[in-house]
Structure 1
């Protein structure tokens, strides 16, 4: 069952929809604002997001854009009591999976969620097939020469679906993608796949998310809630950033692994779970054990099968091939960009590479992506600080064109060459952006 995020500032609607989907067997969470919705999506990676068009801190279309940028596989359905044809058309153009008007027909909504999740799943499978045809099976995790047997390890982990798996690697190396691949290749593929980021929640909330809670177990526990281990059933439970798991929860997780049994927070009944456990961390667990922040017995129980993902800088020769597989549709790499890609250290690994290519493809505007579009610094050099200020695409384009004109003394032909676009395209952009000169 696809997991669902409901972003709506109306508490009654939000809680009703969360409860509705939970009763159907979905993992469902709510958020009252766009900011909270983005945080919850980052922590739990839902399959489908239901977003109200009018939120107190952002327009629903803006949140749609942000969520799609952060989570390309996320299906977003917009909900509104103020729908009109123009908004619906714009929403679909921006990538919305569907557009529904309030009051919501719950049966129609459930069908829309299932349909959107299925389309997203098919899109992921199609992307994998295309990657295989291009000779790059691991477009997300980059199985390359320093780790030639990654595919074999994933297959081994998938077949032996009772053994815990520990996936280690720096941020952005694709640990979550490996976990998902193990699940989708295993006999449990038709069962639920649920995940939790241990670093994003407090000890009490992590315990509640994992094991569930009974009504009245704590102040805000207004009703009983199933934990993710219970929801996972005979599927897969993925714990990301497991090194951040609180000392209070670690022994309870160990017991759940060894006995396949647990109790809800505040409960007395013993529940069972046959879920397969996959955990990931960017922190060496052996070091965490040495510091005393992670239990040695839990560490030994988790490392039955360990899959280590090397960073991109350890396999520079494979970066151009990986970049070709990750390019946005229609984008092309200029030959001069290959050396720039290899020379950069990629501290954010594959995630950073994908975002850099996306940004560069926008700046290239249909022309081959050149080093200027990538804006990278060689390994060992100080990187140019990147502003965290959110800006519009038009403003980013305006700044790029202004910088090109300044560097060429206002020569439009040379500026167009620097930007990697035709002179006629530059002139059109100058008229549209109302830039002088």
Structure 2
């Protein structure tokens, strides 16, 4: 029987955050997700993308437009002939969804919405969790574990609170269990170094400490900030310190002794290859929406390992459901990660937006993936009543 695919609904979720999240480039007062519902061979899948203009150049409106303009028959033709589960995963992995949707200007967040919905439907049709997709990717075996591994999630300190305010709110036992703190940078590197020292004073030298400038520092400021943070706060790495893909400045920072982590500079394996070739980075922050979905993220992780770069698995602020669920699934199986982020939806959205609800054990800093089939989530009424066209 010829496969069928119908896009049923494309909506936006701009849900107010209970408190803002701020960094050097942007202050988030609400979520910014595009939610896609489709039916693939009679099974419904639910997907999500998180377009960010300062990350991939995509907007919410542009993402909605691209997804509504998709001709499902074109995608069906690419997936035709994949009768079994491994074959369907292989066929989907072979499709460049960001370019299918965007042409010469790839649209990874739009692709993530489409791919997460397709994987949800595919796995539900076969009664499998999304983790089964990873088992069907033999080309990624070198970067995956065979079983779920409990991951301690990072504590991210943004600019809406001081490090002392945020970390002191944790119990002493919870602070003792922290393994990594990511600090959002201020425009002034001196002030950023002072905040980093607050973290060191509260947690000591054993906790890994990174600073994320979100590409907001000019090159000279980035080089000075890297030196100050390394010398004063024993920084473990500096994330995206200056304008994306400024390989020359990133290389000078690395040569000065501060490891650089790419984020906005690394959306796909080509970016990772450029960074490695120029000596511009030691680490890469992978995010499902930024990279175009689970399978492109996994492919980028494979390329990073081949080139000797270590990875962090990050999140987009305010992910609604499919993105954080699939991100957790990958986090539990991705080997040799330096850090895993989980977000703070339990603080930002006090009313659950999914069933089962978002949950993180803040005492032990753990965030296991939901049980399947699919990514395991469905929207609640509290979410569906806030969706807009």
- TM-score between the two structures when normalised by the length of structure 1: 0.26
The answer to which structure has the higher strand fraction is: 2
The answer to which structure has the higher helix fraction is: 1
- TM-score between the two structures when normalised by the length of structure 2: 0.29
Higher relative contact order at CA 8 Å, sep ≥6: structure 1 or structure 2? 2
